[in-house]
Each structure stands twice: as structure tokens, then as C-alpha cells.
């Protein structure tokens, strides 16, 4: 979802002002070992990606519909990824294991 540069800057200032007061304990947990409270964005991203990859192996994981308005950024990311995969298939001539993204359903 494209936004204007001004709106982007406003949000950047809001985030900076909020997190400037919470250095090293972003969520107020007082737990130094919690990667999500470390204030280190790289450590946070690594932890979150690892958790997402683990959840894909969960027996509770399933593919389902996404909310039309609330998950627009997720939907757009999936469409961008699907388009990239399709263009890579055309260039290489090799079909990926599962590139049929027509099953993405908005509710």
C-alpha cells in the first residue's frame, strides 16, 4: 500500500519518539535474554523468522483466507512473491514445486 513521503516521515518520527524512551527494553519486560525486548532489530528479526519457520512445521499450521483490509500488506507481499516466482520460471524454464498462487483468498 503506497504512502506519501510525508506520511512515512510522520510515522518514522512517531516510532523514533516512542522507542527512544525504551532503549534496550522495548516492551518493558526487564528480561535481558528476550530477543524481542533487546532493542537490537537484527536479533529481533532473526528470532521472529526462526519462530515463523518453526511454526510451518506445526501440525496446527494450515493455509487459509486472509482478511481483505487488515492483511493487505501480507496479501500484496504474497502477490509480489508469486509474480517473482512466475517470472523466474519463465526465464529459467524450471517450474517451482508450488507456484499456483491463485488460491490466495480474501475474506
Where does the pLDDT of residue 107 fall: very low under 50, low under 70, confident under 90, or very high at 90 and above?
very low
Q: What is the pLDDT of residues 9-65, one digit of tens each?
A: 888 888 777 766 665 666 666 777 777 777 778 888 898 889 888 888 888 877 777
Beta bridge partners of 66: 106
Over its C-alpha atoms, the chain yields an Rg (Å, rounded) of 19
Domain extents in the chain = 23-62, 63-93+100-107
Q: In sequence order, which ranges of 1-107 are alpha helices (DSSP H)?
A: 5-20, 41-56, 72-92
Q: Which grid cell is 19?
A: 522507542
Above 70 in pLDDT, residue 103? no
Q: Which grid cell is 28?
A: 518493558
Amino acid at each position: 500500500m503506497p504512502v506519501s513521503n510525508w506520511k512515512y516521515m510522520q510515522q518514522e518520527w512517531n516510532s523514533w519518539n516512542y522507542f527512544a524512551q525504551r532503549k534496550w527494553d522495548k516492551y518493558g519486560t526487564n528480561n535481558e535474554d528476550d530477543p524481542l525486548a533487546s532493542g537490537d532489530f537484527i536479533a529481533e528479526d532473526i528470532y521472529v523468522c526462526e519462530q515463523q519457520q518453526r511454526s510451518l512445521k506445526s501440525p496446527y499450521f494450515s493455509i487459509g483466507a486472509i482478511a481483505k483490509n487488515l492483511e493487505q500488506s501480507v496479501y500484496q507481499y504474497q502477490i509480489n512473491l508469486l509474480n517473482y516466482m512466475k517470472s523466474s520460471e519463465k526465464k529459467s524454464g524450471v517450474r517451482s514445486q508450488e507456484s499456483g498462487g491463485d488460491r490466495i483468498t480474501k475474506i
